[in-house]
Amino acid sequence: MRDNPIGVFDSGIGGLTVVKAVRSMLPAENIVYLGDTARLPYGTKSVDAIIEFSLENARFLISRGAKFIVIACYSSTSVALDIVRRHVDVPVIGVIDPGVVKALEVTRNGRIGVIGTSLTIFSGAYEKAFRKHGAKCEVLGKACPLFVSLVEEGWLEHPATELVAREYLQPLQEDGIDTLLLGCTHFPLLMPVFRKLMGDIHFVDASQELGNALGNALKAADVERSGRDGALSIYLTDLSMNFKEIGERFLGEPMTDFSRVTLKGL
């Protein structure tokens, strides 16, 4: 069981930012990644569709021997986490709770901004997560859908990106937040722009916090792998023209072991 991989899935290849964080913190772990690129984005789909896709993704990873499943997709975590947990026989962790815990730890004035896709923000998943942790804070959500396209275009510090970011973030700044929680796998790549515009506040990258939570969970279950030579296998449900370029931007290293896979629902 120790050598079995951690399974990670996302609606696309943005979840490779989560894989990057996990590989940095848990270098011994084998990882199998599934990006459902044929059906992205999940954020515009119905709740029922996202649940169906998420269950298919989880079952695929289990068929590849996953000992633990990470839902790197914020939309899936928002609406399908509890359902996936009830339908599979391995532990499942989502990307929302770890970021919430860290935001509560670092905030000083209790005013926390959360940015994400429209579905993630309007689902109320973050407000629910903060309440679950007994938080007495004000959560200010802001949907920022254009950031996804800007990141995939590679416009990480482009003037247009800064212009869009200023429009999105200025209301949060005026509301006096002291902590900004990045609620999308794409958003950490825009950190230089966020820091420039928001100044001296706390930034919470949920990908990093998920890596910490996953390490603790593996240790508690006594299934962590030792060493530093963990393998990474990447499966995608569609191979777009520039998927490798974008994927390597998220992963921070060359993509070498990848292949296309067809899921039952496709």
Q: How many CA atoms lie within 13 A of 49 on its CB side?
A: 12
Q: Is 73 a catalytic residue?
A: yes
Distance of alpha carbon 244 from alpha carbon 259, whole angstroms:
11
Residue type for 95, please? V
Among 26, 80, 172, 184, which one carries the catalytic annotation? 184
Among 6, 22, 73, 193, which one carries the catalytic annotation? 73
Q: Is 137 a catalytic residue?
A: no
139: tokens are: 């959560």
Q: Could you list the active site residues? A: 73, 184
